Structure 1
Amino acid sequence: MFQEERLISILNYLKSNKRITVDLICELYDVSRDTARRDMVKLEEQGQIIRTRGGAILPTLSKIVGDYDQRLQAEPTSKVTIGRAAAELIQDGDYIMMDASTTVLHAATAMTSRHNVVVTSSIETAAILTRKPNMTIHMIGGVLDNKHHSVYGAKAIEMLSEYHVDKLFIGTCGITAEGLYAPNEEDCYLVRAMIQHADQVIVLADHSKFGRRLFQRVVGFENIDILITDQELSSEIKEKLLACNVELVLAGGENT
């Protein structure tokens, strides 16, 4: 087996078993300890693993978040399904708030309710809503993030203090049993401010977000009311949601 083939196999093993040792690499691939160590050094240089005493684990911290177009193209079918389920929760006349999540964008696209007032930090969501009748849109001011097509900063947070809405729809870059995660402080500050000004907090997250831990923890499950996703969750996360009285909505499936 060539080294590149062996490296792929080692990563696949780690995805299923969480940890691998030098001795096990030698046993699985019939190679010397020096070869096993070179394989781990190569994977570490690529940022694929973290070496531990006598072995290796996968990194637990996700550091890469794509730009808006990349995020929009990721898991498109799941996001459309989740967005439609979220839109069904919006009633005529609701005052709502929407963050710059690409999944929340699909909720805006799927909206059929009328006479809504919408506050958003997303220029893409605002543009979608302009095509819908009887819609009043409040665009939060602040610094425009060209990479994520959204507004952030002190001015945006200050403006949020002027509003209060029935329902808030937010996405997330990662979810573990500890809560929701974002790649930076600015995202955290804005989402936390939004949560303070909504009666009901609804999180939209496709299956790829679960198990991802990023640099910044945004909030725990005690701060949300409904979680909409597209696949069954692990028992650990389901127990955490239940303990915090979070309603779980499986888009296209049964709710708990």
Structure 2
Amino acid sequence: MFQEERMQLIIEHLRKHNRISVEEIGSLFDVSRDTARRDLIKLEEQDSIIRTRGGAILPSPPQEFRSYKDRLLYVSEEKRAIGKLAAAIVRHGENIILDASTTVQACAENLNGKSCTVITNSMHSADLLSNHASVEIRLLGGKVDKDQRYVYGAPVIETLSHYYVDKSFIGIGGLTMDGFSASEEEGKIKYRMMQAAKQVIVLADHSKFNKRYGYRFADWSLVDILITNQWPSPEWRTFLAEQQVEILIPEPTEDKEL
């Protein structure tokens, strides 16, 4: 096998498994440790990987932080279906936390007048829910990010530390088997929201799997339910079963108006 072919297969392995070791390269392709190291050095020179002690990982994707208004334009039907299913598991009388992600906002849109208390740092969700007479809204106080339409900062984190709620609904920018990642400011808030709940529900469409961002804020031990739009790979299903995380998938529908 030529080096270029082997390097392409190494990249494909990394996309599926997130990391690879020198020993794995030797075993998979029947090459020496020196040959495996030369492959990794060349891949690093091409900016295709990041070498680690004994192996390699893929570089993080470039972080793109569009305004909340822009992100709302790209709320897919898959995200709307995830939000609708999330809203369906909210019971009357519950205290819940909603974060400021657009997928979780789709949950707020589908609460349909359920009698519950919503704690959120999302200005958009608070405004949307103000039309529901049966929903009590507690908008967390702090600094306002006008572009992203959410409240952040130390006061938000401090206030969240005093809450104990039934459910927290958390949208995820990137998830791997190592845990969840986001921007540092968002990650600190999401982590505190997870800690405050009896039950943590993560909302993530299939495109979020195996993505990393700059700040890892939690691992799977905090999560009870994952709502996504399609069944993950067998490897992921085995992992989630080991973590005792329940997977929920929206029912397929021909009606696009979710």
Amino acid at match of 2:138: H
| CA contact 2:181–2:216 (8 Å) conserved in 1 | yes
Written as runs of structure 1 = structure 2, the 5 A alignment for 1:82-101 is: 82-101=82-101
How far apart are the structure 1 equivalents of 2:240 and 2:73?
A: 28
Pair 134,177 (structure 1): closer, same or farther in 2 beyond 3 Å? same
| CA contact 1:177–1:236 (8 Å) conserved in 2 | no
- 1:35 is matched with none
- 2:190 is matched with 191
How far apart are the structure 2 equivalents of 1:242 and 1:58?
A: 25
Q: SS of the counterpart of 2:237?
A: helix
Pair 111,15 (structure 1): closer, same or farther in 2 beyond 3 Å? farther
- 2:226 is matched with 227
| CA contact 1:116–1:134 (8 Å) conserved in 2 | yes
Pair 123,111 (structure 1): closer, same or farther in 2 beyond 3 Å? same
Pair 150,218 (structure 1): closer, same or farther in 2 beyond 3 Å? same
Sequence identity, in percent?
36
Deviation at 1:186, TM superposition (A): 1.5
- 2:125 is matched with 125
Q: Does 1:157 align with 2:152?
A: no
Deviation at 1:16, TM superposition (A): 8.2
- 1:172 is matched with 172
CA offsets, 1:97-131, max 9 Å, x none? 00001000000001125221100010011011111
Deviation at 1:219, TM superposition (A): 1.1
How far apart are the structure 2 equivalents of 1:173 and 1:98?
A: 15
Deviation at 1:17, TM superposition (A): 3.4
Q: Does 1:17 align with 2:9?
A: no
- 1:237 is matched with 236
Q: Does 1:60 align with 2:55?
A: no
CA offsets, 1:161-201, max 9 Å, x none? 23221110010101111121113x22121111111211110
Coordinate RMSD, CA, aligned: 2.7
Q: SS of the counterpart of 2:157?
A: helix
Amino acid at match of 2:185: E
- 2:23 is matched with none
- 1:146 is matched with 146
| CA contact 1:60–1:212 (8 Å) conserved in 2 | no
- 1:8 is matched with none
| CA contact 1:61–1:212 (8 Å) conserved in 2 | yes
Written as runs of structure 1 = structure 2, the 5 A alignment for 1:98-117 is: 98-117=98-117
How far apart are the structure 2 equivalents of 1:89 and 1:15?
A: 42
Q: Does 1:74 align with 2:79?
A: no
How far apart are the structure 2 equivalents of 1:225 and 1:120?
A: 20
Deviation at 1:75, TM superposition (A): 5.0
Q: SS of the counterpart of 2:71?
A: helix
Structure 1 residues not aligned, in runs of 5+:
1-12, 20-39
Pair 16,124 (structure 1): closer, same or farther in 2 beyond 3 Å? same
How far apart are the structure 1 equivalents of 2:243 and 2:214?
A: 23
Structure 2 residues not aligned, in runs of 5+:
1-7, 15-41, 253-258
Deviation at 1:59, TM superposition (A): 4.7
How far apart are the structure 2 equivalents of 1:14 and 1:51?
A: 16
Q: SS of the counterpart of 1:218?
A: strand
Deviation at 1:134, TM superposition (A): 1.1
